[in-house]
Amino acid sequence: MSDHKATIIDGKAIAQTIRSEIAAEVRRLSETHGKVPGLAVVIVGNRKDSQSYVNMKRKACTEVGIKSVDIDLPEEVSETELICRVHDLNANPDVHGILVQLPLPKHINEEKVLSEIALEKDVDGFHPLNIGKLAMKGREPLFVPCTPKGCIELLNRSGISIKGKKAVVVGRSNIVGLPVTLLLLKEDATVTVVHSRTKEPQSIIREADIIIAAAGQAMMIKGSWIKPGAALIDVGTNAIDDPSKKSGYRLVGDCDFHEACNVAGWITPVPGGVGPMTVAMLLKNTLDGAKRAIER
């Protein structure tokens, strides 16, 4: 096995293919109906990380022809004022998706604000009704959260079958762990969730044909924890000190990439694996919302 090397799943390339497909659909909508999808991106305050995420999302919209509606609010904006803005966007027929960048300042109740977003514009897929439908057999949510949706898309587009496979999800967050577990169930996998209170996680992970690592623990999953030939989707993005880098740090995933490459069948790199797919799925959700609104 020593000369074995896992197939690298190139999330950047797959995301670029999806963006091209979206751009073609956006052009078709524009030519057929004279309308383009619109995504409102709401940011409160000036956190550097949030601003860079938002700029990336706005730039991605422009690339595929989606109209970006920019709402930039000061740190001290009241919860009431923010909710008023959300209601305005709910009522705006040119906006088909609303994204409120998290985290919000301490004085604002995130759950309350997110639940005010109209269900048919909830492109982040976090509305309790969308998550509830995701959890129920035979029901389909209007939108699925972007990162989990991207994980499944990476598996599908890499020709990795999910049906009947043993899948282990590492982490149980509302943003990734929980919804990706529900999606894998919908795809007919047998799913186990490993979390911070799980005893002997390595013995459970070692059984998996598919591993979705979303614990936020740098290089936690070692090569010896992985079943030979397994598919590993690494959602983790952790900064670790690296004096050789200009920034003083580098980004690593939740698995030890070099060790995992010698055992796994497929693996996503960090960065460049799941990250680009998350943005592509946000664009796809916005397009789907627009198609529902424009073509009904």
The catalytic residue among 67, 101, 165, 284 is 101
Q: Is 163 noted as a catalytic residue in this protein?
A: no
**Burial environment of residue 161 by CB neighbours within 10 A (0 to 12, 13 to 18, 19 or more):** middle
The active-site residue out of 122, 124, 209, 234 is 124
Q: Which of 45, 117, 61 is nearest to 88 (CA)?
A: 117
Contact 213, 171 (CB under 8 A): yes
**Cβ(178)–Cβ(235) below 8 Å:** no
The reply to whether 227 belongs to the active site is no
Q: What are the contacts of 189-196 at 24+ separation with CB within 8 A?
A: 189/162, 189/163, 189/164, 189/165, 190/164, 190/165, 190/166, 191/167, 192/166, 192/167, 192/168, 193/168, 193/169, 194/168, 194/169, 194/170, 195/170, 195/171
Q: How far apart are CA 194 and CA 185, in angstroms?
A: 15
**Quick check: is 101 catalytic?**
yes
Q: Pairing between strand 249-252 and 238-241?
A: antiparallel
CB 38 within 8 A of CB 66: yes
Residues serving a catalytic function are 57, 101, 124
